[in-house]
Amino acid sequence: MATATAPRKSTPAIKQTKHLINNEWVASSDGGKFETFNPATGEVIAEVSAGTAADIDRAVKAARRAVETGPWNKMDAADRGRLLFKLAELVDANAEELSMLESLNSGKTIGDSQGDIAGVANCLRYYAGWADKIEGRTVPVRGNFLSYTLRQPVGVVGQIIPWNFPCAMLAWKWGPALACGNAIVMKPAEQTPLTALIMGRLAMEAGFPAGVINLVNGMGETAGAALCTHPDVDKIAFTGHVDTAKIIQKATADTLKRTSYELGGKSPNVIFADANIDDAVEGAFHAIYFHGGQCCTAGSRLFVEEKLRDEFVEKLAKKAKGRRVGDPMDPATQQGPQVSQEQMDKILGYVALGQKQGAKLVTGGQRVGDRGFFVEPTIFDGVKDEMAIATDEIFGPVVSVLPFKNFDEMLERANRTHYGLAAAIWTKDIDKAHLYAKQVKAGTVWVNCYHVVDTTTPFGGFKMSGHGRENGEAALDLYTELKTVTVKLNP
């Protein structure tokens, strides 16, 4: 049985709960608020302003002014980089407040939050370095012309982010957008609005001019939807559920906005019998249970070579049973709560469905305790490819073991999904490793490792896991328009 530790009482102070528009903290146009929770206890920790279409409009107008006429518009690229560097330093200086609040509001373990916040600073620093290196080209056109390209900001970008990595997702979106000179209207997830607001405070402290960074809190169906249909928003960058992306794709059609999406996955994690088995068990464990499975790259389809299956499942189950599930603020905790009652209920619903459809529940499957939203690390064996637990993104600590006999069969099954975000393989055979890496349909492939994501490397999905790539140089393409300038040269 996974063990539950009691939630601690100490909580960080919550100072910001309003929207940040034009470098001012403002309440909603209609005074509306929504409650945000501590998922470890289910208790309300703050009331946050709930954005309306009027709030979005106000933020978009501020962003438009900033990008067209404000000091941001005239600022040297190097100085945009300096502001991003400054913000990264402030993130480091305020890392304790940020990570405590991240854990309080999202249920992430404190160790994971500290790692995320260090990653936020790294991401901002990386894009700070890009700000004055975003270059066009000269092009050897036919005739007496000089042609060159300019890379210019897209303009006002709407950014909508989810609750699983609240501050990290913010950084992935702010970093490249700001390096390229855009102005931002961001809507954080309604479940986890708090750290974004701290970041807003730090952005003002760093010296970002009014209107460059705006934050409107609230629900997806109201504030998020208003951002997607606003005629003066040039682009929407979205991370979240594939069904929401479909709504956004339709909502942005009338104004033909640029869009980029980072969506879900049902990632195949493949274990061959020739792998280092202990490393592979550790890797498969981390792949699914990191952040309680609330990870778009979670290794939720565990393909295990048939002859290794019993030994592997036994070792994995032993580790799962020993996982410490409990108070995210306790450094000894390995897995915190799921983010919300809704998510917990969804996960437990899938566990029931897995059993109903005939999969074998090896371990877990229960709620832990009766307070907060904790779920046991869960393993299903004997899973068939077409069962719901093997096809749907559960977004929880539930892994499906899918035995396979040979490479070709495994590859065909691994690719038989609408998703294509990540994939992994564990083997000592370099032929198998590279053949898989080449043929699996996924934006990220890990060989003998899992969840290694770095600011410097492109990240995104094949198929319905997304459009576009975040991180690395690739993200600059999401936030720039390419302009061709041609000059007649009179000899």
**Residues labelled as active-site residues:** 262, 296
CA distance 22 to 217: 14
Burial profile 406-441: b = 16 or more Cβ within 10 angstroms, e = fewer: ebeebbebbbebebbbbbbbbbeeeebbeebeeebb
Does 175 help bind ligand ADP (rule: CB under 6 A)? no
Helix, strand or coil for residue 129? helix
For residue 156 the two structure tokens come to 């006002």
Helix, strand or coil for residue 28? coil
In the complex with ligand ADP, the residue whose CB is nearer, 240 or 443, is 240
In the complex with ligand ADP, the residue whose CB is nearer, 220 or 299, is 220
Which of 16, 41, 244, 333 forms a contact with ligand ADP (CB under 6 A)?
244
Does 185 help bind ligand ADP (rule: CB under 6 A)? no
In the complex with ligand ADP, the residue whose CB is nearer, 13 or 256, is 256
* Nearest alpha carbon to residue 220 among 173, 266, 161: 161
Cβ-based neighbour number of residue 317 at 10 Å: 17
CA distance 124 to 203: 11
Give the range of 239-247, 253-261, 386-394, 426-434 binding ligand ADP by CB under 6 A.
239-247
CA distance 71 to 422: 41
Which of 248, 387, 475, 478 forms a contact with ligand ADP (CB under 6 A)?
248
In the complex with ligand ADP, the residue whose CB is nearer, 160 or 237, is 160
In the complex with ligand ADP, the residue whose CB is nearer, 123 or 296, is 296
Instruction: For 229-280, give the DSSP string.
Output: H-TT--EEEEES-HHHHHHHHHHTTTTT-EEEEE-----EEEE-TTS-HHHH
Does 354 help bind ligand ADP (rule: CB under 6 A)? no
Does 189 help bind ligand ADP (rule: CB under 6 A)? yes
Give the range of 103-111, 145-153, 156-164, 347-355 binding ligand ADP by CB under 6 A.
156-164
In the complex with ligand ADP, the residue whose CB is nearer, 181 or 265, is 265
Does 160 help bind ligand ADP (rule: CB under 6 A)? yes
Which of 12, 39, 153, 220 forms a contact with ligand ADP (CB under 6 A)?
220
Give the range of 176-184, 218-226, 409-417, 473-481 binding ligand ADP by CB under 6 A.
218-226
Does 221 help bind ligand ADP (rule: CB under 6 A)? yes
Q: How far apart are the first and last CA of the chain?
A: 83
Name the phi and psi angles at 155, rounded to 5: 130, -120
Q: How far is the CB of 160 from ligand ADP (least distance, A)?
A: 5
Residues 486/145, Cβ–Cβ less than 8 Å = yes
Which of 155, 209, 224, 420 forms a contact with ligand ADP (CB under 6 A)?
224
Residues that bind ligand ADP (CB under 6 A): 160-163, 187, 189-190, 219-221, 224-225, 228, 240-241, 244, 247-248
